[in-house]
Structure 1
């Protein structure tokens, strides 16, 4: 076994040797970052700060190795923390920052191991020194990346809160104010107010960490905008730690296909819900589509866990207007549907079959095709539903369809509790 003192002596000499080439290694790493991590390529001030961060990290790491400094007492260099904060302000992903540290670690460890091979002849000593160098490098990177990531996240939170508060105030002024200067509003928001808009309200129903929630919602908005062929980036305004208002600048006045929203929700992760308004033009349309999305969100919140991931005003507009008084809606559903309003899986299947049958113009064939079931099964379920109603389904048909729609979108929230 190699004596620890011998290992530390060799480590110190290797660190001194590498310290002499710190400037050269810094330049090499900067060139590597520019090539392999495009988001880190920026203006001269940012590149100068990156260079200072790399140089100070190398100096700190070599000092630790030279003097056997306890890594737990190490603080990330000032330039490293400041660089992390600047990346947060510019919206560069923290993943790119972490990747840069791992690239730097790999390059430095290669240099350290090569120097150990060059300076030491005894194989057992070489192995012991190499093991010590690798352990120290991982310990240093782990501690420093934790600190710079914390600096990044703190600054990102502060920056987003400040920027979001200003943006939210400007958006509210556009929504509520009279005599809005459209040109000034566009300049302040960085979003065109002329043209066609689609309003969304997105929220995280299964709450993760707050930062993760908003980041996921922002990714969702960007994905929908790209898939819908929008003319520019979406306007994204956080409402709280887990919900946001979004406007999409549509190229066409038509609502994008439902699959666009469903795919974006699925790709972003579980627990996200999206309420979608109808496309609207100019400032009036900007306001109207947002009000519609808010009404749809109210419906989704009333539905609770049974809420569909994607709900569009075109589908649920009339139902959404009824959720302001959920108790009255529940009583009305019970009066309208009678025993068909029983809250269990069997009666839910009967209600859904009857709803589709009526929506398809009372066609058993069309309903069977839509429900992917046999025509005779549709006939049986419609007959059973009619028996539970206690009246002909043609009687008071409008109320019946509205009540079934409420059950479709709100489920247990509008069904009698006992």
Structure 2
């Protein structure tokens, strides 16, 4: 079995001697337990995973070995044992009915045993991984909070403690679950999203991820080339992630002050996304919504300002939403009816009609207060019910 793993999962065998010894003990105890199940007719669904198997799972969790490797090891072992057993049975049992019954019992019993044990060892793995990460991240989180607060520190010591380069260019991201994920293990899923986002960035090292709470993480990417993640790549990552995942980015910035500034920007956009609720886009950048994000510090004041600027146009219903969207596109295209019609795929006359109706609803020509109106419309688009008046 160890030789099989050496071929299929070599990193499990080419490891620290104590860990490989624990692997061997786990294999021996699992095989011994399986054989006793068949020998004594024990119900495999009531068997507890051997102690060495549970400890080996915990040790892999501490070393950061992917849980899929642990699961694969069990199914590789199951396949090898069944192949050996069925080959021996075919040679030794000549009664076809007995052979068929034996094969059926071997397959059913083995699958039940492996299913039972893998559930237990994977649970032990996840619990240990969460505990290990929590303890390690608690120290890193404290260091990062000190850095964000501007406390005095030695940069070399702090870089060593964090395992992250502070002297370069940083891009801050906040990634979180908008609601409690159904599958649990929220931190692991946020780590996966972070790793996927990093794939489209030219970085000078691994990202720094620090849990802010049980559903949210602060992230910094050490950039080699200053750039925001590709929008299409981000959308592909989110499409594969749990639907509860949201993320926001600050702007890239240099040095320790840039580390702080990019994070503060991401925090403002995070506040915007949280205020907007479920209808908000799943990914936002400070570069795109910075001006709006700065207004969410006082949401009540922003709501009053929107009402003063847009009047009845800030009513939360489909009719006024259509008028707001048309007017916003009209303003964003340089007040061109033709360009707005092309973007909205509407007839030019329809755009003119909606713009006129929007102005009537506001109660004054848009040209008198164009910048405020456009900003208020963008607030409505991003925040929705958070700043709109009930119909």
1-structure distance, mates of 2:342, 2:81: 65
Pairwise CA RMSD of aligned residues?
1.9
2-structure distance, mates of 1:60, 1:371: 68
**Which residue pairs with 1:382 in the alignment?**
355
2-structure distance, mates of 1:219, 1:39: 21
Alpha-carbon distance change, 256 to 370 in structure 1, aligned in 2, over 3 angstroms: farther
Q: What is the deviation of 1:41?
A: 4.7
Q: TM-score, normalised on structure 1?
A: 0.88
Structure showing greater Rg: 1
1-structure distance, mates of 2:338, 2:153: 53
2-structure distance, mates of 1:329, 1:186: 40
**Which residue pairs with 1:94 in the alignment?**
67
1-structure distance, mates of 2:206, 2:350: 48
> Does 1:31 pair with 2:6?
no
Alpha-carbon distance change, 72 to 262 in structure 1, aligned in 2, over 3 angstroms: closer
Does structure 2 conserve the Cα–Cα contact (< 8 Å) formed by 1:210 and 1:242?
Answer: no
Q: TM-score, normalised on structure 2?
A: 0.93
Does structure 1 conserve the Cα–Cα contact (< 8 Å) formed by 2:200 and 2:230?
Answer: no
**Which residue pairs with 1:115 in the alignment?**
88
Give 1:25-64 correspondences, 5 Å limit: 29-37=1-9, 40-45=12-17, 46-64=19-37
1:146-186: CA deviation from partner (whole Å, max 9, x where unpaired): 22112112111211211121121111121113333222111
**Which residue pairs with 1:146 in the alignment?**
119
2-structure distance, mates of 1:85, 1:51: 15
**Which residue pairs with 1:18 in the alignment?**
none
**Runs of 5+ unmatched residues, structure 2:** none
2-structure distance, mates of 1:184, 1:245: 21
Structure 1 stretches of 4+ moved >6 Å? none
Alpha-carbon distance change, 38 to 411 in structure 1, aligned in 2, over 3 angstroms: farther
2-structure distance, mates of 1:233, 1:306: 32
**Which residue pairs with 2:321 in the alignment?**
348
Query: Matched residue pairs, number?
Result: 390
1-structure distance, mates of 2:86, 2:343: 67
Alpha-carbon distance change, 189 to 122 in structure 1, aligned in 2, over 3 angstroms: same
> Does 1:202 pair with 2:180?
no
**Which residue pairs with 1:79 in the alignment?**
52
2:265 counterpart (281, 292, 304)? 292
**Which residue pairs with 1:127 in the alignment?**
100
Q: What is the deviation of 1:220?
A: 1.3
